[in-house]
Chain A
Amino acid sequence: AQSVTQLDSQVPVFEEAPVELRCNYSSSVSVYLFWYVQYPNQGLQLLLKYLSGSTLVESINGFEAEFNKSQTSFHLRKPSVHISDTAEYFCAVSETGTASKLTFGTGTRLQVTL
């Protein structure tokens, strides 16, 4: 069975500083990897995903994540954060060939301050 570990429950960071949110997964088969973002009092929305091909994937708002198969990681990074990036970020994994059952990590709350 697949599992996802997000080691940091909260990450405080100053505006314009870089940030990395860590995600490690466990699975016995090939996987698809996702980052979802949840702004306060809203549902989740997809930030970016890795399906195949280039191991570096980017979002439209400056986030990027790199799939590292040997380390079973999919860390999320942004070189310069903005106040509006304050949200909870969830890493998720689904195994290829299944009916799209996502397994989520416990989430990392990113708190950006001035």
Chain B
Amino acid sequence: NAGVTQTPKFRVLKTGQSMTLLCAQDMNHEYMYWYRQDPGMGLRLIHYSVGEGTTAKGEVPDGYNVSRLKKQNFLLGLESAAPSQTSVYFCASSYIAASGTQYFGPGTRLLVL
């Protein structure tokens, strides 16, 4: 039981390049989330999904797109990376709404030059 996994672990991009971050969970959770963590700002929700085939915007969605084609996977895309998107990205999943524990992946460190 791997829990929540994220690939890649590290990535360096040039401004304007695109990339996709993959999150996978093997706990059969309905809910999945993408956060970014920046120094002094805690975690901020980018997008989330309440089930297969659904996505919704979080607090800071601009510049990102997501897809949830399979229940176990949640993809985060950057179409045209900007230096402001340099951050650590965390994926999380949960079984129950609102009161449920969120289980986090180990994170992806992204540097945009």
> Given B40, B90, B94, which contacts A106 in the complex, CB threshold below 8 Å?
B40
B96 interface contact, C-beta 8 A: yes
* B residues near A90, Cβ cutoff 8 Å: 42-43
Number of A-B pairs whose CB atoms are under 8 Å? 66
In the complex, the answer to whether B50 meets A104 with C-beta atoms within 8 Å is no
- In A69-114, the 8 Å CB interface with B consists of 90, 94-107
**Could you tell me the distance between the alpha carbons of A105 and B104 in the complex, rounded to whole angstroms?**
16
**Could you tell me the distance between the alpha carbons of A105 and B41 in the complex, rounded to whole angstroms?**
8
Q: Do A45 and B45 form a contact, CB below 8 Å, given A32-B98, A97-B98, A99-B31? A: no
> Given B94, B97, B106, which contacts A98 in the complex, CB threshold below 8 Å?
B97
In the complex, the answer to whether A44 meets B98 with C-beta atoms within 8 Å is no
B7 interface contact, C-beta 8 A: no
* B residues near A101, Cβ cutoff 8 Å: 45, 48, 58
**Could you tell me the distance between the alpha carbons of A99 and B48 in the complex, rounded to whole angstroms?**
9
In the complex, the answer to whether B101 meets A46 with C-beta atoms within 8 Å is yes
B102 interface contact, C-beta 8 A: yes
* A residues near B56, Cβ cutoff 8 Å: 99
Minimum CB–CB distance for B73 against chain A, Å: 17
**Could you tell me the distance between the alpha carbons of A58 and B33 in the complex, rounded to whole angstroms?**
26
Q: How would residues 21 to 43 of chain B score, 1 for a CB under 8 Å from any chain A CB and 0 otherwise? A: 00000000001010000001111
> Given A32, A34, A45, A100, which contacts B104 in the complex, CB threshold below 8 Å?
A45
A9 interface contact, C-beta 8 A: yes
* B residues near A98, Cβ cutoff 8 Å: 97-98
Q: How would residues 53 to 74 of chain B score, 1 for a CB under 8 Å from any chain A CB and 0 otherwise? A: 0001010000000000000000
* A residues near B44, Cβ cutoff 8 Å: 104
Q: Which B residues have a C-beta under 8 Å from some C-beta of A?
A: 4, 31, 33, 40-45, 48, 50, 56, 58, 90, 92, 94, 96-107
Known A99-B48, A99-B97, A100-B99; 6 more pairs at CB < 8 Å: A42-B106, A44-B104, A90-B43, A99-B98, A100-B100, A101-B48
